[in-house]
Structure 1
Amino acid sequence: MTTLLVIAKEPVPGRVKTRLTPHYSPEQAAALAEAALADTLDAVLRCPAERHVLVLDGRPGPWLPPGFDVVPQVAGGLDERLAAAFGACRGPALLVGMDTPQVTPALLAPALEGTGRADAWLGPAADGGFWALGLTRPDPELLRGVPMSTPQTGRVQYERLAGAGLSVRLLPQLRDVDTPADAEEVARLVPGSRFAAAVAHCAPGAAA
């Protein structure tokens, strides 16, 4: 069975979601990040997998549910950290980030059920990046050197996979939560989520 990976940063004010400020305070931005991470972990935990692994920059907190193995991120750029996460997997692996709290088991199901139908699965993000990457045979070299956090990241990663002779299938495009507009739009998509509740709580004029 597949190893499910979530790569995340501890939601500490001033260290996460800095692009949400100054619209949100650093503390509010961290609260939104924590809610997004909690929703993501919940969705991933509801997916069948041999292992559920949180690849974490920082320390676990009360937002971490039982059922996850926690491993630290390695040093280096995001490409190196992603490569190391896949390199530690013995079989098929699917990795998601913490920026798409609208993720559901149904969205992940094609990659989890389709390891025999494709060598790789890529979930494109609306900003040009990607929110998910699945590899039937994890190879760290498929990620090393891919420029991360650019409008071309998803395209370059796709070309890297296809250029290695892999069959690649796409998951639905999702919107990352990076800006206040992203946060408000994603909250509208998942009205019953922790994330939507956090956005409502942090809205100007909301009751403390």
Structure 2
Amino acid sequence: MTKLSNGLSRHLIIFARQPVLGRVKTRLAADIGDTAALAVYRELLTITATAVGAAGIPATVWLADAPDLPTAELPEWPGLPWLLQPAGDLGHRMAAAFATAFVAGASAVAIIGTDCPGLRAAHLEQAFELLQHHDIVLGPATDGGYYLLAMKELHMLLFANKEWSTATVRAATLADAARLGLRVALLPQLADVDTVADLRAWRGE
């Protein structure tokens, strides 16, 4: 694990799926078909992996589904270890991933998905820099959710009682942070690609 200037050990959690036809970007696929949706997802994986690699932050990939074939390394994430996400809703799965990172010795942990084409290494680096002087860092998404969440200790309330994949998630998370008296920093707002409207906006159509 790499350390920040104040001694915090950094770790990045990546929530992802394997790029398998019919199992990724299902909302998008309903409009453009499974094959086109898979191509978009592969492109998003490449963007995310490039940002992670450029940032040089130790990372673990947490897969939503087990690989079809046993493998020690995922070709989409060369050099990165991977684990399976546990059962439960998104909040439960994220909390479990954060807990695993903290138990392993990390003291500054961030989580991202693979839906954000605007994500760059600078956003990841900025998140950990901000975390030196804040309790949590949030990367707001234009759809009302977030593309990144970082913290220095596990705050379970941030993962409880959320309507995941809705426009209420970010506001509810910030409200819980306020209740806990946490110091919050925000990254630049970025757009996720989940629907055909998101895709058209990304492509500039």
Cα contact 1:36–1:101 (8 A) shared by 2? yes
- Residue aligning to 1:66: 78
Range with greater deviation from structure 2 (127-136 or 138-147): 138-147
Does residue 27 of the first structure (1) align with residue 35 of the second (2)? yes
Does residue 10 of the first structure (1) align with residue 18 of the second (2)? yes
Q: How big is the shift at 1:145? A: 2.6
**Residue type at the aligned position of 2:92:** E
Distance 1:141 1:181 in 2: 32
Q: Alignment partner of 2:167: what SS?
A: coil
Distance 1:102 1:186 in 2: 9
Structure 2: tracts of 5 or more residues without a match: 1-8
Count of residues in Structure 1 that have an aligned counterpart in Structure 2: 188
- Residue aligning to 2:93: 81
Q: How big is the shift at 1:82? A: 0.8
Q: How big is the shift at 1:65? A: 3.0
Q: How big is the shift at 1:27? A: 1.7
Cα contact 1:6–1:41 (8 A) shared by 2? no
Distance 1:23 1:134 in 2: 33
Cα contact 1:120–1:136 (8 A) shared by 2? yes
Q: Alignment partner of 2:190: what SS?
A: coil
Q: How big is the shift at 1:57? A: 1.2
Cα contact 1:7–1:98 (8 A) shared by 2? yes
Does residue 57 of the first structure (1) align with residue 64 of the second (2)? yes
**Residue type at the aligned position of 1:30:** L
Q: How big is the shift at 1:64? A: 1.8
RMSD: 2.0
Percent sequence identity over aligned pairs: 34
- Give the structure-1-normalised TM-score: 0.82
Distance 2:78 2:152 in 1: 26
Structure 1: tracts of 5 or more residues without a match: 189-208
Q: How big is the shift at 1:63? A: 4.4
Deviating beyond 3 angstroms after TM superposition, the runs of 4 or more aligned structure 1 residues are 60-63
- Residue aligning to 1:180: 196
- Residue aligning to 1:97: 113
Cα contact 2:116–2:147 (8 A) shared by 1? yes
Q: How big is the shift at 1:141? A: 4.2
Distance 1:86 1:141 in 2: 13
- Residue aligning to 1:200: none
Q: Alignment partner of 1:169: what SS?
A: strand
Cα contact 1:99–1:177 (8 A) shared by 2? yes
